[in-house]
């Protein structure tokens, strides 16, 4: 099986046309026309993850976040991106990123978050034009309403986050939940308009927490924490199509954020 067969399968699931215009999903480096010796899946592409793939003898690394996100002027070992690229080229490793195009499909990243929270009656929060089931964020309903503190505890347990930053609690039941994996503050107004009781995302700025006022609780669970199950999603998608092929989840924890409690 050639590497391009895996890429074709992923792009049928989440076409590159669905990515945001600022994104860099797709082939990052390498040769898709060679035989695939194995696939390693990771949320991020770091030098450690590249070396892990090389040590296993795998020549395809699939990540959610693109290694090259913005234009770079040089490739040197003085920074992480350069070290990862140098290591990948030395190992003849192909790197492929599937980022906001995977975010923007109904069965993608946000669906994995909704699964962990037990949300039903799901729909895209901000549809992308006339394309069905494509767009940003997700809106769903809890099977049983709960208090805000009960819901915060459920989130904490489901995502293993040591701390949740959130706006003022309203003292009202939680039933309707909006969410977006990764940086989703641009969807706060859409969540409010949809009548959400809670909005879950990451990278929320100070002033954004005022946006919910008394209508909605805004909760920041951490970027890595919100997207950590994307790796399991990709693993499942690839193994369903290629069940007898060597596909593994990276054993490296790539979260760059630490908490002092």
Residues 108, 221, single domain; the answer is yes
Residue tagged 């990764």 (tokens): 182
pLDDT of res. 246:
94
Residue 255 lies inside a defined structural domain of this protein: no
> Do 42 and 110 fall within a single domain?
no
**Do 109 and 189 lie in a common domain?**
yes
Q: Are residues 174 and 156 in the same domain?
A: yes
pLDDT at residue 212, rounded to an integer: 81
- Residue 142 sits in the same domain as residue 38: no
CATH number at residue 184: 3.40.1390.30
Supply the pLDDT for residue 56. Answer: 97
Examine the domain organization and report whether 218 and 127 are in the same domain. Answer: yes
68: containing domain: 3-102
Residue 61 lies in a domain: yes
Answer yes or no: do 208 and 220 share one domain: yes
165 shares a domain with 96: no
62 and 163 in a single domain? The answer is: no
- Write down the pLDDT at residue 71: 86
| Domain identity same for 116 and 87 | no
110 and 205, same domain (yes or no): yes
- Full pLDDT tens readout for the chain, 261 residues: 999 999 999 999 999 999 999 999 999 999 999 999 999 999 999 999 999 999 999 999 999 999 999 888 899 998 999 999 999 999 999 999 999 999 999 999 999 999 999 999 999 999 998 888 999 999 999 999 999 999 999 999 999 999 999 999 999 999 999 999 999 999 999 999 999 999 999 999 999 999 987 899 999 999 999 999 999 999 999 999 999 999 999 999 999 999 998
Q: Which of these three, 58, 86, 102, is where a domain ends? A: 102
Q: Does some domain include residue 254? A: no
> How high is the pLDDT of residue 132?
82
Query: Are 68 and 123 part of one and the same domain?
Result: no
The predicted pLDDT at position 115 comes to 98
Q: How many domains does the chain have?
A: 2
- Is residue 94 in a domain? yes
What's the pLDDT score for residue 201? 98
- Asked if residue 96 is part of any domain, the answer here is yes
């Amino acid at each position: 099986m050639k590497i391009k067969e895996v890429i074709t399968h992923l792009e049928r699931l989440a076409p590159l046309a669905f990515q945001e215009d600022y994104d860099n999903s797709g082939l990052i480096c390498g040769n898709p026309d060679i035989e695939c010796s194995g696939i390693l899946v990771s949320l991020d592409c770091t030098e450690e993850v590249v070396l892990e793939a090389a040590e296993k003898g795998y020549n395809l690394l699939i990540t959610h976040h693109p290694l090259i996100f913005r234009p770079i002027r040089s490739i040197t070992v003085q920074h992480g991106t350069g070290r990862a690229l140098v290591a990948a080229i030395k190992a003849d490793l192909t790197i492929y990123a599937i980022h906001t195009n995977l975010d923007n499909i109904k069965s993608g990243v946000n669906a994995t978050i909704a699964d962990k929270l037990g949300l039903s009656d799901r729909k895209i929060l901000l549809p992308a034009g006339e394309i069905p089931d494509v767009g940003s964020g997700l809106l769903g309903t809890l099977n049983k309403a709960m208090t805000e503190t009960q819901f915060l505890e459920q989130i904490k347990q489901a995502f293993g986050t040591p701390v949740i930053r959130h706006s003022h609690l309203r003292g009202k039941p939680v039933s309707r939940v909006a969410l977006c994996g990764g940086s989703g503050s641009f969807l706060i107004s859409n969540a409010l308009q949809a009548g959400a009781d809670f909005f879950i995302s990451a990278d929320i700025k100070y002033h954004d927490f005022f946006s919910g006022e008394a209508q909605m609780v805004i909760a920041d669970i951490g970027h890595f924490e919100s997207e950590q199950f994307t790796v399991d999603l990709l693993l499942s998608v690839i193994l369903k199509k290629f069940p007898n092929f060597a596909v593994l989840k990276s054993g490296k924890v790539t979260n760059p954020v630490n908490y002092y409690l």
